[in-house]
Amino acid sequence: MTAIARTVLPGGLRVVTEQLPEMRSVAFGIWACVGSRDEDAAHAGATHYLEHLLFKGTARRTALDISAAMDAVGGELNAFTAKEYTCYYARVLDEDLPLAIDVLSDMVTSSLLAPKDVDAERGVILEEIAMNEDDPADLVHEAFAAELFGDTPLGRPILGTVDLINSITADRIAEHYRARYLPHNLVVAAAGSLEHARVVELTSAAFGSRLSGAVEPSAPRLSGPAQGQPGGTGVRLVSRPVEQANLVLGGIGLARNDPRRFALGVLNAALGGGMSSRLFQEVREKRGLAYSVYSFSSQHADTGQWGVYAGCLPAKTEEVLAICRDEIAKVVDSGLTDEELERGKGQLRGSIVLGLEDPSSRMTRLGKSELVYPRLEPVEEILAEISAVTHDHIRAVASAVLRQQMALAVVGPFDDDEAFTAALAS
């Protein structure tokens, strides 16, 4: 039995914990309700840049002090930036939780953002962008988002572009930091062997005088400017001299809190979510046309995307694309079989439960629920919603999502997109 508790401190800082008595470790995270989609033109690229810079030192600790403190106790320390939030997290033994809270709180509240560190980290981020550009599987998903959402924050890469990173100044990054990293925009989440009152006490001490005033926490992000906007439906070709072509075919999906998301999740599992899925069987098992093929669905507050990915020999791209389109059409026209429906439900239920078997995933669930969901939905309710999905639900969501015009992104050794444009239009 787990115990979830929530406290709102002065200044609007939320502390949410889940006690897992059987564990010997704790996952601790500080979540900021700012993602790359929140950047205006003047601060484009600043969110991910900040993720790097907060590890570079505070008035109390150098960058080496930060990493050495966590290494000395065998802890894990990292961060990630998403479209709609940023998270700084650590996993440590329960006895080292005070250290983790102090180090992470210091980083998030008191980063120096020294100009020399901004300049040094600029090169690191440019290397990260170059590494991403060298991975066709990552690049094709970015190209798909760009085609689907256009030149908008959702369509641009989280890392920023080379031009943006080269041009952004330390002052702009500092402005973004001061505007976004305020207590009411932050959530402290922890799961594992802990006592809620102790986490609140340690967090209060670590944030100190920054926690003052009767400030309401930021409301969850439940809507946004992209709601109802149509997606792009063209072809985006990124020409690269690679041995394997990478394709993503898809369109606009569902928003994060859309009640149809459970049906889409079951449909996605049956269409391309595992080795027994239609796409895996038709493309890989029966024809041997690709090593990797799958379908996916991702959500934002106001919109989402769904699609099919395949990696294949360049000469096989048109055939693979035709099979994927055919399998999508079959689902739209005929839905799923009884066996596929039950298998899709089981796969989705299992992935959710198994994904919550460690403190880090539990901590993530707590943090995200505060930032982007109307409430922390009990796991039992989620599983019940999945179990309640029927053939009618599948047909309805397939008609709404899979029937629309699609966008196509291709990364491969091709000179022009004429053949792909014709295939998409047929």
Q: Would you please indicate which residues are annotated as catalytic (active-site) residues? A: 51
Q: Give the separation between CA 244 and CA 150, rounded to whole angstroms.
A: 26
Q: Which of 211, 256, 221 is nearest to 15 (CA)?
A: 211
What residue has token string 């802990």? 194
* CA distances for 335 relative to 286, 326, 331, angstroms: 21, 13, 4
What is the chain's length? 426
Which residues fall within 8 angstroms of residue 123, CB to CB, at 6 or more apart?
none
Count Cα atoms within 13 angstroms, Cβ side, for 15. 22
Helices 317-334/418-425 angle, 10° precision: 20
The structure tokens listed for 197 are 């009152």
Strand (E) or helix (H) holding 239: strand 235-239
Q: Give the separation between CA 353 and CA 380, rounded to whole angstroms.
A: 10
One-letter amino acid at 275 equals M
Strands 186-192 and 14-19: parallel
Please check whether residue 50 is in contact with residue 60, taking contact to mean a CB–CB distance below 8 angstroms.
no
The DSSP line for 74-104 is T-EEEEEE-SS-EEEEEEEEGGGHHHHHHHH
* CA distances for 297 relative to 141, 269, 294, 375, angstroms: 12, 10, 10, 22
Q: Give the separation between CA 159 and CA 325, rounded to whole angstroms.
A: 31
